[in-house]
Amino acid sequence: MTKIVITGASGKMGRSLIEATLAADPDYLLGATARPSSTLIGVDAGELVGYGHHSAPIANSLSEFLPKSPVIIDFTAIDATLLHLQDCIRHQCPIVIGTTGFSEADEALIHDASTQIPIVYAPNFSVGVNLVLDLLDRTARILGDSVDVEVLEAHHRNKVDAPSGTALAMGRVVAAALKRDFSKVAVYGREGQEGARPREQIGFATVRAGDIVGEHTVLFASEGERIEITHKASNRRTFADGAIRAAVWLGEKSPGLYGMRDVLDL
């Protein structure tokens, strides 16, 4: 049976991942980690989220768990994720990466690591979002260059990267379908007298406010009509459930870099 370790147990997403793992199958959860200074060190992860004792301790590092070859799920922060990635390489453990905001150099490190271990790396683990990505590809191919494309996204005030990884993924899917170079057509803000909007642009608008979990809309607008494809998340659990699904799937795979489209067989 797949064994799972959750990093970042003290965060909201970490706790959601623990809850989702226990809900899927209590036997999946091997343990979790938190910062060495955390008061959660030594606490049982099941008790932390109100599921009772599950013999799944919260440790101050992955070293306690890696010899048992678990699948690691990491939704922490860039620097921490890259350190955990190196730990996984040393112990040949698969890893599911949900952290966003990586630079091109960071993504190159993830790609290189995937030649040695199995990795699922995705900007969003929601099943619904990944179905939307599939729909965006089809819509863009059908509409072609007859529409203007804008991506609107909103998240809670504590999200550190903008636009979101999901918004960027949506833009890239549309750009690829329209055979455009995303790096040249993406526009991340407009101000002043910019003139008429070039058709080939893919614009991004970002909102950071309150406790918004995640909202994304891709707008396809032509003269006389528009199509809006929207996904709204009301609970982090939707991302957590997808990540658990990915971890169970990944436990049986050979080294490689996979996405949620692979997990869902889209």
Q: Report the candidate in 246, 32, 24, 228 with the shortest Cα–Cα distance to residue 135.
A: 228
Q: Report the candidate in 169, 181, 151, 179 with the shortest Cα–Cα distance to residue 261.
A: 169
176 phi/psi in degrees, rounded to 5: -65, -40
Q: Report the candidate in 92, 87, 125, 86 with the shortest Cα–Cα distance to residue 106.
A: 86
Strand partners, 13: none
- Alpha carbon distance 178, 59 (integer Å): 47
Is the previous residue joined to 67 through a cis bond, with omega within 30 degrees of 0? no
The residue length of the chain stands at 266
Contacts of the segment 14-18: beta carbons below 8 A, 24+ positions apart: 14/75, 14/76, 15/48, 15/49, 16/236, 16/237, 16/239, 16/240, 17/73, 17/75, 17/240, 17/243, 17/244, 18/45, 18/46, 18/48, 18/49
End-to-end CA distance of the chain: 25
Catalytic residue numbers? 155, 159
